Amino acid sequence: MTENACWDRGKDGWKINMYETDSAINTPVVRVGIAGAGMAGSFHAECLRRVHGVRVELAGVTSLRAESRREFGRSRGIPVFDSIKEMIGHVDVVDLCSPPYAHKDGILTAARAGKHIICEKPLTGFFGPPAGEGFRGNAFPKEKMLDEVLSSLREIASAVSEGGKCFGYAENFVYAPAVQKERQIVEKSGAQILRMLGEESHKGSASPVYGFWRYAGGGSLIGKGCHPLTALLYLKRSEGLAREGSPTRPVTVSARTHELTRLPGYLDRKFLRTDYLDIEDCGWMHVVFSDGTIGDVVTGELTLGGIYDYVEVFANNHRARCRLSPTNLMDVYNPSGREFDGIYLMEKISTQEGWSNAAPDENWTMGYQPEIQDFIECAATGRDPQSGLALALDTTLTIYAAYVSAERRGAEVKVPLLFEDTARA
């Protein structure tokens, strides 16, 4: 007998159920094609090979740069394709790990071909007008951006709905064990979340195209703020579904953004990334939900000491601190940097000398492995994922409404939600 496992949502919330099959041959096979050969594609490939209960075949990889996709496929034994369109006939799932500006075309291609979709965050955004040679996102009217994003999201939602397949929004904050435990507490105790605080900050992205609005769709608010924001929206959505039968959703947002490393008086000590063209390097969002409760998100590229990720919840019957990074699972002291050459301790850490909060398994503690497990099971069984398109739409629209607010120096702005009918949300 072969022991397997699957996620199951019962009256006590999501949990892993163990089951047995007569042979691994009887388990379903899901063929996955990865679009994107960078960091996200790498950890998706690693997590896909650790999925249990469903046999996963890495059936293809593609990316915009030929040398990148060839090396990615060669080093992992994965067939290489020149494009998503060429790969699409060989896969059941298209896993979009490409930069944000390429997500929409990938989603539409996969949805129209009737394929399941996994999409890295952020979902999509505004990347400038077609002839955008002189485009500068920090100077472009934000209300026009929001209108364009709303139109794009309608097109995406329509295509995914017509395709009728699973859409997994790969927001690892949602699947982090600490956030999942808090969701269980909220659902089982009947808690009312009154306010929340979340953050993702570090010293700056490693992506060469980050810093250019035309590739990233913005700066800290969308590049990092999407993570804690989605977790906050997810917890309120789960609370509403558990108690009222419909999701509690964001209605307004206030925000500020800043470009602190480009201040005339900034003293550059070379520890923080500073080569940003037209994006903010820190920001803040204040969200008001449909029940009047609130959530705050802090984010930026100004934090040394490794990636700093957490969600804090203040409810009417409890308080919770959900630590994603650092987790304090392991403290390690290194007297000399060369002692740890070739040893990975923690994402975005600046030095490995002295004391460090080592991450024994970031794929698990940060939620990467559970999200991939959930999405593959959804593709195999047809059930809905915990983090799907509705959550992705709410996150994206909240962020672009936040950019409008920041342009108005923090004025409250309505979030123009799709699917006002909460039965569809």
Cα–Cα distance between 247 and 249 in angstroms, integer? 6
How would DSSP label each residue in 224-262? TTHHHHHHHHHHHHHHHHHHTSS---EEEEEEEEE-GGG
Is the CB of residue 282 less than 8 Å from the CB of residue 220? yes
Name the phi and psi angles at 58, rounded to 5: -80, 95
Cα–Cα distance between 135 and 208 in angstroms, integer? 18
The tens digit of pLDDT for each residue in 35-87 reads 999 999 999 999 999 999 999 999 999 999 999 999 999 999 999 999 999 99
Q: What is the pLDDT of residue 425?
A: 56
Is the CB of residue 119 less than 8 Å from the CB of residue 107? yes
Cα–Cα distance between 399 and 214 in angstroms, integer? 16
Omega before residue 122 within 30° of 0, cis: yes
* Bridge partners (DSSP) listed for residue 358: 330
The residue among 247, 238, 232, 229 whose CA lies nearest residue 189 is 238
| Cβ-Cβ contacts under 8 Å for 96 (sequence gap 6 or more) | 35, 36, 102, 103, 106, 107, 110, 117, 118, 119, 120
Cα–Cα distance between 127 and 214 in angstroms, integer? 4
Cα–Cα distance between 421 and 425 in angstroms, integer? 7
Kindly report the CA angle at 421 between 419 and 424, in degrees rounded to 5?
65
| Cβ-Cβ contacts under 8 Å for 265 (sequence gap 6 or more) | none
Mean pLDDT, consecutive 10-residue segments, the chain of 425 residues? 43 42 63 96 96 97 96 97 98 97 97 98 95 88 98 97 97 98 98 98 90 96 98 98 96 98 96 96 98 98 95 98 93 89 86 88 94 98 96 98 98 91 47
Instruction: Break the chain down into helix, strand, coil percent, rounded to 5.
Output: 35, 25, 40
Is the CB of residue 18 less than 8 Å from the CB of residue 7? no
How would DSSP label each residue in 391-422? HHHHHHHHHHHHHHHHHTTS--EE---S--ST
Q: What is the pLDDT of residue 173?
A: 98
Kindly report the CA angle at 359 between 355 and 365, in degrees rounded to 5?
145
How would DSSP label each residue in 304-355? -SS-EEEEEEEESS-EEEEEEES--SEEEEESSGGGGTT---STT-S--SEE
Classified as helix, coil or strand, 29 is strand
Give the chain's domains with CATH numbers: 2-170 (3.40.50.720), 172-414 (3.30.360.10)
Kindly report the CA angle at 371 between 316 and 27, in degrees rounded to 5?
130
Q: What is the mean pLDDT of the chain?
A: 92
Cα–Cα distance between 406 and 398 in angstroms, integer? 12
Omega before residue 326 within 30° of 0, cis: yes
The residue among 126, 124, 122 whose CA lies nearest residue 144 is 126
| DSSP secondary structure code for residue 89 in this structure | G
Q: What is the pLDDT of residue 1?
A: 33
